[in-house]
Structure 1
Amino acid sequence: MPPSTRPLRKLGFLTIGLFDGEDPRPGHESTLRIIELGEQLGFDSAWVRHRHLQYGISSPVAVLAAATQRTHRIELGTAVIPLGWENPLRLAEDLATVDVLSGGRLNPGVSVGPPRHYDKVREALYPDTGDLEDFGYGRVSRLLSLIRGAQASGFHGQEGIEVFSDRVQPQSSGLGRRLWYGGASSRSAQWAGEQGMNYLTSSVVRAEGAGRFEEIQLSHIQTFRAHHPEGELARVSQGLVVIPTDSATSEQRAKYQAYAAKRLPRTTQPQGPAKMLFSPDFVGSSAELAERLDTHLAFREVDEVAFALPFTFEHEDYVQILTDLATRLGPRLGWKPAA
């Protein structure tokens, strides 16, 4: 197999962290055990999705705070926190606190836009300011500036026995360089680059003009780097669904193939008013997957990935997938596990 343009330097994975609404603890515990396994297998990063009013992780910052106390090396990320649900000042405090607890391993990924089903949730979320909230890039700018040390208050100093800061506390050195923007369009790629952020791509893009998924995604990566101060050195991570089957049982292989087949129709043309185009899922042996990825135009332009685990599988399935990613597929892509 010919070498990729950019040999894989960092291998990560992404999980949604599903749980049973009647008994939520086992699902959360499974997520933490998966992160622990990822560290043991040498993965560079573990990422969690964010789901509000669903049966997936609603508070990734809290879950990752727990993960900081059960791991020592692996980087911990969010992909992504929808800022429409967040107060940037409070989120900045939470992120900085978890980054301190982790020893500087947090990689927060964020996105913009109004909350899903906003008309149904507005009264609970923003009962007094629902018509005034800014759900655009300004919300990210506030978060960025606060994490990077901008003034948050007009008051600082001592008042009685209490001491006040005019900046977010704690201040976590380096966190401002580890913020990611989850984008799917040329506009978001350009904006993230201009802000000096890192860029998360996934298995969905906005269909802007003609072209296959990988061609559109490649154009977003190139746009991001063209507008980033670090140019070609700017960090981009790709998040395709990649499922190796080397050590899978016959039942697991059948389940994985059925999962991918069920989702395949949405990849044939753009979906919905936003014209979102999905990537096919990658299922097969590590040898087959390496060959397919080596010809993927966007994959060839990145040296970091956070392969997404499917939503609805069992804990044992994730163990098998992660083990094959780390021991079979990763090495075929030029990756070496962390010590």
Structure 2
Amino acid sequence: MSAHPKRIGFLSFGHWHPAGPHTRSAADALTQSIELAVAAEELGIDGAYFRVHHFERQLAAPYPLLAAIGARTSRIEIGTGVIDMRYENPLYAAEEAAAADLISGGRLQLGISRGTPSPARNGYEAFGYVPAEGGTDADLARRHTAVFRAAIGGSGVARSDPRTTGRSDAVVGLQPLSPGLPDRIWWGSGTRASAVWAAGEGMNLMSSTLLTEDTGVPFDAAQAEQIAQYRAAWAEAGWDRQPRVSISRSVIPLVTDEDRTHFGVGDDGDQVGYVDHQTLARFGRSYTGEPDVIARQLAADAAVQAADTVLLTVPNQLGVEYNTRMLATIAEHVAPAIGWRPAGSAVSS
């Protein structure tokens, strides 16, 4: 049995392509994302999460989508995995996040981070942001993150104007504010060091789909080690709440001929390769096969045991009906093996 009660959610990259089978435009990707979140909530799934990528045929503007899902649903968590903070105006993002969270009734779980490689070289510069002299793009992301988190927490961010307030010595903060949102920020981490940093900052941990340090051990063991170091650093920091930890997995049950046509016989191991042509990284395996087989395999995954939230990547271009059926199969035949129960059940996590 799992060491931590489990939540499961889906994670969509939001791809579209004009020649795709079901998701041929940005409008398709957005509206189908909303419909899949509604369907997932009806299945008892705990979360609907979305990747954010710029300069690609993928979801790029998260807040309108999150707000729309919040207005159409009542229970399911709504999140990102992750928002690249190098590209963000942190004060505008704070206003957008608070508004979307209020619309959803406080269900946002925002994954933020330095982000991933993009087709545009230093694309954040096109958005008007450059690292400080002598700094890195990672420093830029963390600086934006600090401003964003201060703003959603209610800190003053500008001097008051005496012509309108009668005071020149006060500071004013942004509105609206959404209570509880500061505790629902997650840092996307691909290393042990950044996970420890996130713990010290009081952010939840969203362990990456790849680790940019290969120690030669299997991906799940390396990820479990990262999570253990994060939890230890959290305890040492003395925060007064329990953190959340998520991982993501590609889980494809092969039940129908259509499943087997699309996904074949599966992938039996991790992959090791280079990111940015220079950083060696380890990618986790896919779990593809008969539902009872992958249920046993997932139950033996060390990082699945260590996390409290497992995000299931979905092939969104195959459409809402296909992905709903896939999630239903996972919910009935796979997820119970890792300690998950449907939201609202007597033994729900």
State the TM bucket, normalised to the shorter chain: 0.7 to 0.9
* Post-superposition offset of 1:334: 2.4
Asked if the contact 1:202/1:240 (under 8 Å) is kept, the reply is: no
* Post-superposition offset of 1:257: 2.6
TM-score by length of 2: 0.85
Match of 1:308, SS state, is strand
1:241 equivalent in alignment to 2:241: no
Asked if the contact 1:286/1:332 (under 8 Å) is kept, the reply is: no
Change (3 A) 1:48 1:157: farther
Match of 1:234, SS state, is coil
Q: 2:332 aligns with which of 306, 327, 332?
A: 327
AA in 1 matched with 2:186: W
Asked if the contact 1:203/1:241 (under 8 Å) is kept, the reply is: no
Change (3 A) 1:204 1:23: closer
AA in 1 matched with 2:195: A
Distance, in Å, in 2 between the alignment partners of 1:321 and 1:88 is: 36
Q: List aligned pairs for 1:2-151, cutoff 5 A.
A: 3-6=1-4, 8-20=5-17, 23-112=25-114, 116-117=118-119, 119=121, 121=123, 124-126=126-128, 130=130, 132=132, 134-151=139-156
User: What do residues 8-47 of structure 1 show as CA deviations (whole Å, max 9, x unaligned)?
Assistant: 4311111112234674322221111100001111111110
Asked if the contact 1:238/1:299 (under 8 Å) is kept, the reply is: yes
Match of 2:312 in 1: 307
Change (3 A) 1:158 1:13: farther
Change (3 A) 1:331 1:156: farther
Q: 1:255 aligns with which of 251, 262, 269?
A: 262
Distance, in Å, in 2 between the alignment partners of 1:52 and 1:211 is: 32
* Post-superposition offset of 1:119: 3.5
User: What do residues 232-262 of structure 1 show as CA deviations (whole Å, max 9, x unaligned)?
Assistant: 94210111111223xx32122231236x45x
Change (3 A) 1:158 1:45: farther
Match of 1:199, SS state, is strand
Asked if the contact 1:14/1:307 (under 8 Å) is kept, the reply is: yes
Distance, in Å, in 1 between the alignment partners of 2:223 and 2:115 is: 20
Asked if the contact 2:63/2:100 (under 8 Å) is kept, the reply is: yes
* Post-superposition offset of 1:109: 0.6
Which stretch of structure 1 is more off in the superposition, 111-120 or 84-93? 111-120
Asked if the contact 1:114/1:135 (under 8 Å) is kept, the reply is: no
AA in 2 matched with 1:300: Q
Asked if the contact 2:195/2:229 (under 8 Å) is kept, the reply is: yes
Match of 2:210 in 1: 204
Asked if the contact 1:20/1:27 (under 8 Å) is kept, the reply is: no
Match of 2:347 in 1: none
Identity fraction in percent: 29
Distance, in Å, in 2 between the alignment partners of 1:23 and 1:106 is: 26
Structure 2: runs of 5 or more not aligned: 19-23, 345-349
AA in 2 matched with 1:241: S
Distance, in Å, in 2 between the alignment partners of 1:232 and 1:171 is: 21
Distance, in Å, in 2 between the alignment partners of 1:276 and 1:96 is: 35
Distance, in Å, in 2 between the alignment partners of 1:46 and 1:166 is: 34
TM-score by length of 1: 0.87
1:188 equivalent in alignment to 2:191: no
Asked if the contact 2:8/2:311 (under 8 Å) is kept, the reply is: yes
User: What do residues 260-291 of structure 1 show as CA deviations (whole Å, max 9, x unaligned)?
Assistant: 45xx78x3424241211101111123321221
Q: What CA RMSD, in Å, does the superposition of the two structures yield over aligned residues? A: 2.7
Asked if the contact 1:112/1:139 (under 8 Å) is kept, the reply is: no
AA in 2 matched with 1:51: H
* Post-superposition offset of 1:137: 2.0
Match of 1:170 in 2: 176
* Post-superposition offset of 1:332: 3.0
Match of 2:21 in 1: none
AA in 2 matched with 1:205: L
Change (3 A) 1:77 1:25: same
AA in 2 matched with 1:269: V
Distance, in Å, in 2 between the alignment partners of 1:75 and 1:5 is: 22
Match of 2:140, SS state, is coil
